[in-house]
Amino acid sequence: MTTATPELLTVPDVMVMLKVGRTKVYDLIRTHRLVSIKVDGCRRIPANAVGDFVRSQLGEAA
Protein backbone atom coordinates (compact mmCIF):
# COMPACT_ATOMS: atom_id res chain seq x y z
CA MET A 1 0.00 0.00 0.00
CA THR A 2 1.31 3.43 -0.89
CA THR A 3 0.30 6.66 0.68
CA ALA A 4 0.32 10.00 -1.06
CA THR A 5 2.82 12.40 0.39
CA PRO A 6 2.15 16.12 0.24
CA GLU A 7 4.21 18.22 -2.10
CA LEU A 8 6.97 19.88 -0.10
CA LEU A 9 7.86 23.45 -0.99
CA THR A 10 11.03 25.39 -0.29
CA VAL A 11 11.03 28.79 1.42
CA PRO A 12 11.68 30.53 -1.94
CA ASP A 13 8.67 28.67 -3.42
CA VAL A 14 6.46 29.96 -0.60
CA MET A 15 7.89 33.47 -0.98
CA VAL A 16 6.72 33.51 -4.59
CA MET A 17 3.32 32.01 -3.78
CA LEU A 18 2.56 34.49 -0.99
CA LYS A 19 4.44 37.40 -2.58
CA VAL A 20 6.35 38.10 0.64
CA GLY A 21 10.01 38.16 1.61
CA ARG A 22 12.17 35.48 3.18
CA THR A 23 12.01 37.05 6.63
CA LYS A 24 8.20 37.04 6.57
CA VAL A 25 8.05 33.34 5.66
CA TYR A 26 10.40 32.46 8.51
CA ASP A 27 8.35 34.69 10.84
CA LEU A 28 5.18 32.79 9.89
CA ILE A 29 6.99 29.52 10.59
CA ARG A 30 8.41 30.77 13.90
CA THR A 31 4.99 31.91 15.11
CA HIS A 32 3.41 28.58 14.05
CA ARG A 33 1.09 30.26 11.57
CA LEU A 34 2.69 28.24 8.78
CA VAL A 35 3.51 24.56 9.31
CA SER A 36 6.93 23.33 8.24
CA ILE A 37 9.31 20.44 8.70
CA LYS A 38 13.06 20.02 8.46
CA VAL A 39 14.54 17.47 6.08
CA ASP A 40 18.25 17.05 6.78
CA GLY A 41 18.48 20.65 7.94
CA CYS A 42 16.47 22.04 5.02
CA ARG A 43 13.16 23.74 5.82
CA ARG A 44 10.20 22.41 3.81
CA ILE A 45 6.58 23.53 3.83
CA PRO A 46 3.77 21.18 2.78
CA ALA A 47 1.78 22.70 -0.06
CA ASN A 48 -1.48 22.15 1.81
CA ALA A 49 -0.06 24.19 4.74
CA VAL A 50 0.18 27.21 2.44
CA GLY A 51 -3.45 26.70 1.42
CA ASP A 52 -4.47 26.35 5.08
CA PHE A 53 -2.67 29.59 5.92
CA VAL A 54 -4.39 31.48 3.09
CA ARG A 55 -7.80 30.13 4.11
CA SER A 56 -7.22 31.16 7.73
CA GLN A 57 -6.28 34.67 6.61
CA LEU A 58 -9.41 34.89 4.46
CA GLY A 59 -11.49 33.75 7.45
CA GLU A 60 -9.98 36.45 9.65
CA ALA A 61 -10.62 39.10 6.99
CA ALA A 62 -14.31 38.19 6.68
Dist CA 42 CA 19 (whole Å): 21
pLDDT tens for 16-62 read: 999 999 999 999 999 999 999 999 999 999 999 999 999 999 988 77
Q: Report angle CA 20, 47, 52 to the nearest 5 degrees.
A: 75
The widest CA-to-CA distance across the chain, in whole angstroms, is: 41
Domain containing 54 — which CATH number? 1.10.1660
What's the domain count of the chain?
1
Where does 1-62 show beta strands of DSSP type E? Answer: 8-9, 37-39, 42-46
User: 8 near 44, Cβ under 8 Å?
Assistant: yes
Q: What is the pTM of this model?
A: 0.84
**Within a domain: 1:** no
Amino acid at the residue 62: A
**Within a domain: 2:** no
